[in-house]
Structures are given as C-alpha cells and as structure tokens.
Structure 1
Amino acid sequence: MSDSYTPHNQRIIDQFTRWAKPFAELPIHAEAESLREVIAACDATDAMTVLDVACGPGIVACALAQQGAHVTAIDLTPAMIEQATSRAAHSEIAVTFQVGDARNLSFQTGIFDRVVTRYSFHHMEDPRAVLAEMIRVCRPGGRLIVVDATPAPEAQAGYDQAEKLRDPSHTSALTVSQLLSLGHEAGLSHVLTSQYRLESRLEDQVVPEDWSTLKAMFLEDIAGGQDRLGMGAWQADDGIRFHFPISIVVWTKLEH
C-alpha cells in the first residue's frame, strides 16, 4: 500500500466512488449564492494560476475557469475526477484534472496564485499537513482559501457523531477558531472570514442502510430543542431538513 492509500484514504475513495454521480448532481453543491461567495473569496483574476484541492465533481474549478483563471484540480477519487472532467467537457471549459493526494501535492513550490479547497478539511486526518502543502505550492503573496463546515464549539461533538454515521470518511469538522488557528500557526496573514448556511434534506444525504439510525438521531435532536448536532434541524413537510454551517476563511502567504 502506498502512502497515498492509507486505510482512511481508502474509506474516502470507497465513499466517493459510491456517491460520485449523486454527489455531483445534488443541487446543494452548486447552489448559486454560496458558489458566488466562494468565487469572490478566491478573487482570481484573468490568467491567474489556481489549484483546487480535493475538487470533487469540479464545480469550483469550472466556475473559476469561467472567470478566466488557469485551473488545475486534483481529487483522491478517480470517479470524482471522471465527474469533474465530464462537467468541464459538457460546458466546454478548460481545466486540468488529475488524481492526487492533498497531503502530497505533485507540484513545484510557489507556482499557484490561488490555492482553494471546498468541503474537504472534515475528511482530512491531518488538516494541518494539508494546509502546509497548500501553502508550499502557493506563491508568496498568493491567496489560500478553505471552505468547510464549522460547527459551533458546543455542538462539535454532536455534529461529528452525526456526520461519521452519515459519511464514514468524515474525521472532524473544525470550529472557526480551530481553523483560524491553523492559519495563524502556519504564519499566514488572515484576509477574511465569512459564513453561510446550506439547507439540505436529510434523506438526500444518506444511503438507505443508514437512514433509520440517522433519522432517529435527528428526531431526538429536534424533540430536545437543544440543537446538540449544531445543524438547526426541523421537521418539514417533505422530511427532516437541516443546515450545514459553512465558513470561508481566506489567508495570504507572506512575502519574505
């Protein structure tokens, strides 16, 4: 087994191979307003070089390429790269996609103007190491953008419990403070932090065999009224609905 294919990485590949097509087609992942916020945070002007780490079905990569950026995008799961390549081809967008491990980026030091990752850090066993690799390949003065779920500190344990049941490749969702600390410890200069919520229906986010357990967990949380899971869940006419609490954190790499 190579370093890239640790047991945890294999869980990621297994999960997202199974979910590649439905994941790519879920409207929540391309929701217009939140995607605009992410693209604005990247601030990638025409002809900039951008790396999208753990790109999934290529939604952010394609949106950045449409802005005129020269985009390279990697993902650990070949099935996700297939979805991303298909998306770009369908829209006639030029993006370079390749299978790759976020912990060991196969790029020279300091070659990208922007390095972005969206909805990936909660899958990482060592997000600090992933951020270090993102910093390495970013040019001095360049911008790093991390977008991920950030539960409130008091709900972090409950959030992780629910997410690990829903997605076995989940490790832990960092709080905003924890995420900001990673950048501070790495010597990055903080640019901005913004937040948004993504509404979803629970049944759209879980495989059938896990549905009954997760449904019971969410119903208990709704009945308790304490929001122990940190998702503000409620019972709607079409089932259980909830919000993913998302933060965008932007830093610049200092010039030495």
Structure 2
Amino acid sequence: MSASYTPHNQKIVDQFTRWAKPFAELPIHAESDSLREVIAACAATEGMTVLDVACGPGIVACALAQRGARVTAIDLTPAMIEQAKSRSATNGVAVTFQVGDARNLPFQTGIFDRVVTRYSFHHMEDPGEVLAEMIRVCRPGGRLIVVDATPAAEAQAGYDQAEKLRDPSHTSALTLSQLLSLGHEAGLSHVLTTQYRLESRLEDQVAPEDWSALKTMFLEDIASEQDRLGMGAWQAEDGIRFHFPISIVVWTKPEN
C-alpha cells in the first residue's frame, strides 16, 4: 500500500471497493437535474482543463468531457477508477483517470482551469487540507467547485450519526456556513451558492447488516416530527424515504 493509505483512507477504500458497482449504478448519483446544476456551476467551456477530485465512478468527469473539456479525474479507490473507466468507454468520451490521494494531488501547481469535487468532503478528515490542494493545482483566476451534503447546524450531529452508521468512512458533513468559511479562510472569492435536495429510499443506501439499526433510527425520527437527522424522512409505500441536503459552492482563485 502507498504511504498515503492512512487508517481512515483504508476505511474509504474498503467501503468503496465493496460498494463500487452498486454505487456506480444507483440512479440517484446520475440524477439529471442535479447533475445539470453541477455542470452549470463548473462553467467549463470546450478545451478547458478540468480536474475532478475524488471522482468516484466518473459521472461528473464524463459529463464534463462530453461538453468538450479536457478532463483528468482522480480517486483513492482503484475499484472506483475501474467503474469510471468503464463509464468513459461506454459514453465514448476521453478522460484521464488515475488513483491518488486528494490530500496530495500528483499535479503541478496552477495547471487546471476548473477543479471540482462532488460528494467527497464528508469523507475527509481535514476538508480544509483537501481544499488547499485543490487551490494549489487551480490556475489563478480559475474556478473551484465543491458539491456536498450540508445539513442544518441543529441537525448536523444527528445527520452524522446516521451517516456513520450507514457508511463508516463518513467523517462529518459540514454545514453550509462551515463550508463557506473554508473558502473565505483560504482567500477565495465567492461566486455563487446553490442548493438542491436528492430524494432516496433508505433501503437502497444501506448494507443489510446495518438496515435494522438505521430503520429504527429513521422511524424514531419520523415519529418525533422534529427532523433531528436533517433529512426530512417520511414513510412511503415502498419504504422509508428521505432527502440529502446538498449545496454547490463556487469560488475563484485570486489572480495573484
């Protein structure tokens, strides 16, 4: 293993090796309206160089490549990179994929016009460290885009509790205020913030061994009518449903 495989990184690799194929095939991850918002936020035109950090199964990377961007994509989990390569081949688009650590991006300083990451910061022990690397490889005047779950402050603890049970590689989902503060502290210029909610069925997101405990947690939250988990869960005909609260935050890197 590489020296970058810390105990937490190994949790990520273990989780997403196990879930690589079902994760890649779950429709929620390629849901058209939300993906369209992410691509619009990137504002990548033909020929621009784009880096997709923690690219997972390559959904964002391939969508950007379809629009003519020259895309490089990196992920810690080899099984995810294999899923991403398969998607790229199926879609007939050219993307350069490689395995690597978001905390130490193997790229020269200032070479990308756009640097994007989607649904990754809640896996990072130090998201500020990852953002600093994204800033380093972005050209002056370039655009940085972070897309992630941002629970309300009063629901953050409950949200994290549920997510850690569902996914042991989860660390903490930042609130929108905390995410914006990371960019401010790094000296970035805020461009825009947009938000959307992704609806999901709980059973589609849970390993069988975790189902009972999560079902109990969600049913208690529904019964309380207080939304302590911050997901607006409800009982539907086909099971428990909920929303992931997602924010897209866009910054630019200072020219000097």
Task: Output the TM-score relative to the length of structure 1.
Answer: 0.99
Q: What is the Cα deviation at residue 238 of structure 1?
A: 0.2
Q: Which residue of 2 aligns with 1:224?
A: 224
Cα distance in structure 1, aligned partners of 2:166 and 2:31: 21
Cα distance in structure 1, aligned partners of 2:71 and 2:201: 32
Q: Which residue of 2 aligns with 1:78?
A: 78
Residue aligned with 2:85, SS: helix
Q: Which residue of 1 aligns with 2:30?
A: 30
Residue aligned with 2:19, SS: helix
Matches within 5 A, 1:205-244: 205-244=205-244
Matches within 5 A, 1:121-200: 121-200=121-200
Cα distance in structure 2, aligned partners of 1:35 and 1:138: 22
| Cα RMSD, aligned residues only | 0.6
Runs of 4+ in 1 over 4 A off after TM superposition: none
Q: What is the Cα deviation at residue 91 of structure 1?
A: 1.1
Q: What is the Cα deviation at residue 3 of structure 1?
A: 3.4
Residue aligned with 1:139, SS: strand
Cα distance in structure 2, aligned partners of 1:4 and 1:43: 32
Cα distance in structure 2, aligned partners of 1:2 and 1:198: 35
Cα distance in structure 2, aligned partners of 1:188 and 1:113: 15
Q: What is the Cα deviation at residue 2 of structure 1?
A: 4.1
AA of the residue aligned to 2:87? R
Residue aligned with 1:249, SS: strand
AA of the residue aligned to 2:8? H
Cα distance in structure 1, aligned partners of 2:144 and 2:81: 22
AA of the residue aligned to 1:90? T
- Any unmatched runs of 5+ in structure 1? none
- Any unmatched runs of 5+ in structure 2? none
Residue aligned with 1:101, SS: coil
Q: Which residue of 1 aligns with 2:115?
A: 115
Cα distance in structure 2, aligned partners of 1:66 and 1:224: 45
Residue aligned with 1:47, SS: coil
Q: Which residue of 2 aligns with 1:69?
A: 69
Cα distance in structure 1, aligned partners of 2:211 and 2:233: 15
AA of the residue aligned to 2:176? V
Matches within 5 A, 1:6-25: 6-25=6-25
Cα distance in structure 1, aligned partners of 2:92 and 2:244: 31
